[in-house]
Structure 1
């Protein structure tokens, strides 16, 4: 049975989220499936789902087929930003486990990926451990394990799982996770080196696009939009339909002052895959450009997307909390952030709670949470900006100045809304010093 299920796992293209997407925005984009572009009746993933559905009508007790279908539904949810695939995935995976409960590591790993997609990371970890216990030689399972450990704030155990994944199968999935481990520690040089290795090891256009996307992200996050733009455009030449690269190119374009092109690229990304992250970025870009009506439209779409995700079992966390803190209801921001930290005690969750506490006037507690967000040494300009503004509210002007300088040194273009506020706050604090 184990050998047969291994074939099922291979057919499904491996298990797990892209590491940086494992707990963000309600859905992670799968690099191997999303590169095909928007889901259509002709794209490989949709075609595979149709084939499996037809097969299972005639052979409903095929545990491997059910597990593979469940995995494909999880991937389709990520690819299309449509969480209604999650209940379908759960039904297929549970049927598979009922038919083959003992050594069905494919379905167990699929349940781990499903629970991660729904931001239920403790459950994701339990399923990933069960799968690895059955098959400790499958590298993809260690990716699911590492993602769960990361989002639960268990960074040392995540690093160990990633190293095991690299040892078993050095390639784009494992090296990209190794890159993320380094990035979280603030070691951006190693992070870039690992992603370059992933690019060199790319098996085709989809892997190339995946590596180029994260190389673009690494460059942008460290204040180099020109390199970010180059990486995004190189990725789009390899895989023109890879939507995340439109988002990456838009961020770089906005930072370089090419705002019309940025709006157009983000608009195309939202049309293809209405991922909440893209919708929110487009809304904030419109607001920064003085387009209040267009911004309000995107924020309305963001709220609708969040409801769709929660209606299908996805827990809200950092993005929703930050949205409410910046554009909505501060009290709701705090409620979401506190609940999000319980299910996902990751760095992003600590930062979101810090900011929610700040906008509610609870700055002493906010500072403690902000310290936790930066505890690993992560070079994140938004985290440093949030901490600096909290220090400013507490009257710690020297620490606020230093924090704002650090945020802008990491990335002076980190947000079309908050970067200008950081510059203005630093100017005001410097003037009062004189």
Structure 2
């Protein structure tokens, strides 16, 4: 992308307060082109601070800030800065409360802000980029990120927004360039976390861990420390080290007790270590603190693996209801919804959702979801091609390899199936309370 020069000195000397708000809000609210919650089945998006973490303990400064900005906007309805900042805060509030009804509110005030100033208003442009990313409209998010950067090419956070959109759109080289630009402009927790994620996608776990530990070292608040601990724990779990995952999660919980994301990843580690009662307790607490679809689905699958089918069905019903709520508020359903339907619901709907997901978000996990949806619908040759695309970067993902192994088995390619299922269990023998045992059982039949 060719960036145009700032035409006025005023663009460079925009209020420091606006720049600070943008950096904070886009980092916390997800200037990241991902899901509005951490993905349940795979490494679906770059790390984002406070996404899925729940409200901060004690007074809620974000709610206070929203009230203050609402009053300011009422007193001066032609203040683009107040409106743009309010829109950013609405996106953030949607993220940390899992309440998608904030997205239409955010869109309304951001559009009002842009109507008042569509030239220099990089904060509202960045807010629109964050909003579209949160709603899984990544092409639109990319466009807004590019427009914001054209106004202010010196804001590191905007390059994070750009990187996230490029990643979700499958433009991995461009995403890497944007991450590097972000690190060059402002090395710190947000940029290092994205660098870690980019390395993880390439299967470079050594670099990924190093960068995330640097993100932890540069964390300037307990929330940022908890964020880094969460992703260190998740990285350990995803690569088969449940003990380290438990250690990292508990370290994070000592910093921020009752953090929903840390409770969730601790539960996954506990289940892997056979501590099922503790895992159910922690997942229940996480869901009570923040009813994210991810937590609901994980609890349902844990219940199902324990033979507690009635409780599992209750969680699956809640998951479906939450998906409808997100869709009603402009969020495009994608790989999580497709995988849920493939595993627990309507296989035809799973395939329809997966095909739409690949169109709007041709990221790795969308390709994997399409592969699995094709498989459960008996279209294994097409499924294998989609699985090839899911693994094109060399990502170490047990679920991807499990899906590929079952596809190969259906095609009669026994040796390839054995290799893939063995790889899945080598990467993480506890990647799913339902599918990991199925992988082991399939290997025994070979």
Q: TM-score, normalised by structure 2?
A: 0.93
- State the distance in 1 between where 2:351 and 2:193 align: 33
Rounded Cα–Cα distance in structure 2 between residues aligned with 1:330 and 1:20: 33
Contact 1:5-1:104 at 8 Å conserved across structures: no
Structure 1 pair 6/126, CA: closer, same or farther in 2 (3 Å)? farther
Tell me whether 1:100 sits opposite 2:111 in the alignment: no
Distance 1:283 1:198 in 2: 33
Alpha-carbon distance, 1:7 to partner: 2.2
Verify: 1:116 aligned to 2:133, yes or no: yes
CA contact (8 A) 2:32 2:160 kept: no
1:31 to 32, 49, 69: 49
Q: 1:18 to 1:197 in 2, by over 3 A?
A: farther
Match of 2:20 in 1: 10
Q: Deviations over 1:37-67 (max 9, x none)?
A: 4379931111111111111111111111111
Deviations 1:189-228 (A, max 9, x none): 1000000000111102111101000000110000000000
How many residue pairs are counted as aligned between the two chains? 428
| Structure 2 CA distance for partners of 1:354 and 1:5, relative to 1, 3 Å | farther
Match of 1:432 in 2: none
- Select the residue among 59, 64, 70 that pairs with 2:76: 59
C-alpha distance in 2, partners of 1:116/1:16?
13
Q: 1:375-405: per-residue Cα shift (whole Å, max 9, x none)?
A: 1000000000000000000000000000010
Q: Give deviations 1:7-63, integer Å, cap 9, x for gaps.
A: 22412514257889742366789525865x437993111111111111111111111
Find the residue that maps to 1:409 and give its secondary structure.
helix
**Is residue 304 from structure 1 mapped to residue 321 from structure 2 by the alignment?**
yes
Unaligned runs of 5+ in 1: 430-434
Please, which of 149, 163, 166 is the counterpart of residue 183 of structure 2? 166
C-alpha RMSD of matched pairs (Å): 1.8
In the alignment, what sits opposite 1:274? 291
Which structure 1 residue ranges, 4+ long, deviate > 4 Å from structure 2? 16-21, 25-30, 32-35
User: Which one of the candidate residues 221, 241, 248 is aligned to 1:204?
Assistant: 221
SS of the residue aligned with 1:24? coil
Q: Distance in 1 between matches of 2:146 and 2:282?
A: 40
Would the aligned equivalents of 2:237 and 2:428 in 1 still touch at CA under 8 Å? yes
Asked whether the 8 Å contact 1:175–1:195 carries over to 2, the reply is yes
Q: TM-score, normalised by structure 1?
A: 0.95
Matched position secondary structure for 1:375: coil
User: Does the residue aligned with 2:26 lie in a helix, a strand or coil?
Assistant: coil
The gaps in structure 2 that reach 5 residues or longer are 1-9, 40-46
CA–CA separation in structure 1 for the residues paired with 2:50 and 2:297: 24
Once the two structures are superposed, residues 276-314 of structure 1 have per-residue CA deviations (whole angstroms, 9 ceiling, x without a partner) of 111111100100011001100000000000000000000
CA contact (8 A) 2:32 2:164 kept: no
Aligned to 1:320: 337
Q: Distance in 2 between matches of 1:19 and 1:179?
A: 16
- 1:150-182 Cα shifts (integer Å, max 9, x gaps): 000000100000000000000000000000000
- Checking the alignment, whether the CA contact within 8 Å between 1:19 and 1:180 is kept in structure 2 is no
Please say if 1:191 is aligned against 2:185. no
